[in-house]
Structure 1
Amino acid sequence: MTRDRDYFKSFCKISKAFGTTVGEEDLLRLIVESAIESMDAKAACLFLRDERQNLFVPTAQAGLSDNYLHADPLKARKIVAALEKEGFLAFPDVASDPRLEHREAKTAEGIASLLTVPVKVKDCTIGVLSLYTATRRDFTPDEIEFLQALADQGGIAIDNNRLHRRMQKNAMLFLDLAAGINSTLDIKQILRNLTVNIANNLGLKGVLIRLLDEDTGRLELVASHGLSDAFLEIGSATDTQTATRALEGETMVISDATTDERIRFKDAMKKEGIASIIVTPIRARDKVIGVMRLYSDIRREFSPDLMLMIEALAHQGGMAIQNASMYLALQEDKKSLEEDIWSHRSWF
């Protein structure tokens, strides 16, 4: 009962600390240090998923030497698969357990036992938390449950931290776009800046914007970033499923551009190195006037807040086009009015 109360107090203390830690580096260090302190362990290491490589890499650790040899990231995928199935992996004797790599290195490091649990956010494994002990330990159900709870709490804290940083980045993106709209009436320059800023801030391979030419019925390219000329030549048709639905006002997410039936030019996508796509309409008032496409070179899951951000940016682009068009129309009306007034003056 005493140990249970200690775990409860530790968990309350850790949860409070997670909620007040701002920097991601500090948060990750807090997770591993909390695991060591709460479970009287030698060391701990947090591995986080690298989406670009689809690997789990050591991101924060404490109690291990700098040259400690972790498991090969490719082989670590099998460990993650087993973790997702079992919920944890316990290795009471690392020196003799055949499931482990580099057993001699672990023994030399002073590691006797190892407990590993997944770090999850909304049923998705974003990392792995490993706990190392200096003496042989048969981990009890309470210890396993506590480390699982700690990993879950850490996953929530990491997700909230990432969301906070995304919101800050999104706010800056909106400010940059607003500043660009206010600084020039060159609509092509505004849209070029928009494609560059979105690609760079959201870590995308490329972004393009096409506007609908009502006379020809084609989607004409007006701005792009990060895409080859050969790839840009294939996208002006409006009869593809993605273009048709976007022009009807629907935002579409294509998780795998090389296999999705909605994609006509799969070979071109593969050649260009495109894995996932977002297609969203560009509106001016209540009318769809074009399409913005965002391309990722890795398979990605796009969060609801990011999708909302993308749709808002496309809407801002449409407003910029509308404002510039209205200004040009007013300039033309002004010129016509001046010419009309001058012709009347000539009568006197």
Structure 2
Amino acid sequence: MPKRKDYFDTFCKLSKTFGTAATQSTLLNLIVESAVETMDGKAACLFLRDVGNEYFIPKSQIGLSETYLHASPRESAGIVNVLEKKGYIVFENAATDERLENHKAKKNEGIASILTVPVRVSNVTQGVLSLYTATRRKFDKSEIDFLCALADQGGIAVHTNNLINRLRNNAMFFLELASSINSSLDIQEILGSLTVNICDTLGMKGVTIGLLDEDTNSIQLVASHGLSDEFFEILGVINNETASRALKGETIIVSDTEADKRIEFKKEMKKEGIKSMIVTPILARDKVIGVMRLYSADYTGFPSDVLVMIEALAHQGGLAIQNASMYLKLKEEKINLEKDIWSHRAWF
């Protein structure tokens, strides 16, 4: 077995850096460096899944050439399935293993064996950490456990960075949006601004807003952004369980639209590139007046702070709609009053 540094020393160094480092890249770089140094590897790379795609892309690496890294992207689906079952993957002979591609590239790079473990963010596998060796290796349990622990630290770094960025962006977004929608009394302008800004800031594929028609007790779509015209037409006939529950004041999370039995038009959603969604009520003075749907091109559990933000935005939209409606009503009443005054004057 190769000579290794003490695992405890490595984690002491990691712990100290995690308490002082300001950027995600600094932490991820330290993780891959620690993997190579402590486990006597040739190289290491931490990959994260590209949002909206089924590929892992390198986020931090040491010891690999640019030519090798760009030889081809790593598909995430198959790797994740194996990692979810076993917790790690060992490629003892990387140059011939049938589970791997680009054998020639690995041979030219001098890669003999590979150990791959999952990087989990909010309990979801969002990437992998791979250790590459220059000689054929069998990895014992302690080595596998150590690399898994390093990958967990990578997941914590990504999660913390995502949380900080979301909180900062959400606060600024909510302030700007509140100012924007309160500066207008045009309902269509308000809803259009709301859908566009939510997509851009929260990284959603699409957003729709439907208002309740009390005469027919159905949802009428009034605003949309990011979705094709073909899919928008399909949405016009959807009045399913998620919408019904949202009209009762409940926020519904669908983490996998293809597998969830509550979802209609699964094929159409897959074609549109929708993988998960949120359905939340739009309230005005504690009364549900509509439903907002947010569609994501990624599989996600939607963190609690994002859900709070979405519900707050729906409430803000409901308030803006109510204000605009009251303005229109007052405007109409003013016109009627003026007509009455002129009719009274005609009597004299």
Shorter-chain TM-score bucket reads: 0.7 to 0.9
Structure 2 partner of 1:213? 213
Deviations 1:29-78 (A, max 9, x none): 23212322333433211121234222223232111111126786566654
What is the CA distance between 1:288 and its match in structure 2?
0.6
What is the CA distance between 1:313 and its match in structure 2?
0.9
Structure 2 contact 122–159 (Cα < 8 Å) conserved: no
TM-score (norm 2): 0.82
Q: Superposed, which structure 2 residues align to 1:154-169 within 5 Å?
A: 154-169=154-169
Q: Which segments of 5 or more consecutive residues in structure 2 lack a partner in the other structure? A: none
Structure 1 contact 69–105 (Cα < 8 Å) conserved: no
Structure 2 partner of 1:322? 322
Q: Given residue 127 of structure 2, which amino acid in structure 1 is its aligned partner?
A: G
Identity %: 62
Structure 1 contact 71–101 (Cα < 8 Å) conserved: no
Structure 2 contact 248–288 (Cα < 8 Å) conserved: yes
Three-state SS of the structure 1 residue aligned to 2:68 is coil
Q: Do the aligned partners of residues 59 and 314 (structure 1) sit closer, same or farther apart at CA in structure 2, a change above 3 Å counting?
A: same
Hey, what's the Cα distance between the residues in 2 that align with 1:271 and 1:101?
28
Structure 1 contact 15–153 (Cα < 8 Å) conserved: no
Hey, what's the Cα distance between the residues in 1 that align with 2:243 and 2:93?
58
What is the CA distance between 1:152 and its match in structure 2?
1.0
Structure 2 contact 54–75 (Cα < 8 Å) conserved: no
Q: Do the aligned partners of residues 254 and 106 (structure 1) sit closer, same or farther apart at CA in structure 2, a change above 3 Å counting?
A: closer
Deviations 1:78-97 (A, max 9, x none): 44443333333345565566
Structure 1 partner of 2:12? 12
What is the CA distance between 1:224 and its match in structure 2?
1.5
What is the CA distance between 1:121 and its match in structure 2?
3.3
Q: Which segments of 5 or more consecutive residues in structure 1 lack a partner in the other structure? A: none
What is the CA distance between 1:199 and its match in structure 2?
1.6
Q: Do the aligned partners of residues 218 and 238 (structure 1) sit closer, same or farther apart at CA in structure 2, a change above 3 Å counting?
A: farther
Structure 1 partner of 2:224? 224
Structure 2 partner of 1:175? 175
What is the CA distance between 1:287 and its match in structure 2?
0.6
Structure 1 partner of 2:28? 28
Out of 108-117 and 193-202, give the one that drifted further: 108-117
Three-state SS of the structure 2 residue aligned to 1:67 is helix
Structure 1 contact 238–244 (Cα < 8 Å) conserved: no
User: Does 2:200 align with 1:194?
Assistant: no
Q: Do the aligned partners of residues 41 and 241 (structure 1) sit closer, same or farther apart at CA in structure 2, a change above 3 Å counting?
A: closer
TM-score (norm 1): 0.82
What is the CA distance between 1:14 and its match in structure 2?
0.8
Q: Do the aligned partners of residues 218 and 33 (structure 1) sit closer, same or farther apart at CA in structure 2, a change above 3 Å counting?
A: same
Three-state SS of the structure 1 residue aligned to 2:22 is coil
Structure 2 partner of 1:39? 39
Hey, what's the Cα distance between the residues in 2 that align with 1:61 and 1:267?
38
Hey, what's the Cα distance between the residues in 2 that align with 1:171 and 1:41?
43
What is the CA distance between 1:16 and its match in structure 2?
2.8
Q: Given residue 302 of structure 1, which amino acid in structure 2 is its aligned partner?
A: F
Structure 2 contact 5–37 (Cα < 8 Å) conserved: no
Q: Do the aligned partners of residues 315 and 33 (structure 1) sit closer, same or farther apart at CA in structure 2, a change above 3 Å counting?
A: same
What is the CA distance between 1:237 and its match in structure 2?
6.0
Structure 2 partner of 1:244? 244
Structure 2 contact 5–39 (Cα < 8 Å) conserved: no
Aligned residue pairs, count: 346
Q: Do the aligned partners of residues 281 and 60 (structure 1) sit closer, same or farther apart at CA in structure 2, a change above 3 Å counting?
A: same
Hey, what's the Cα distance between the residues in 2 that align with 1:267 and 1:65?
41
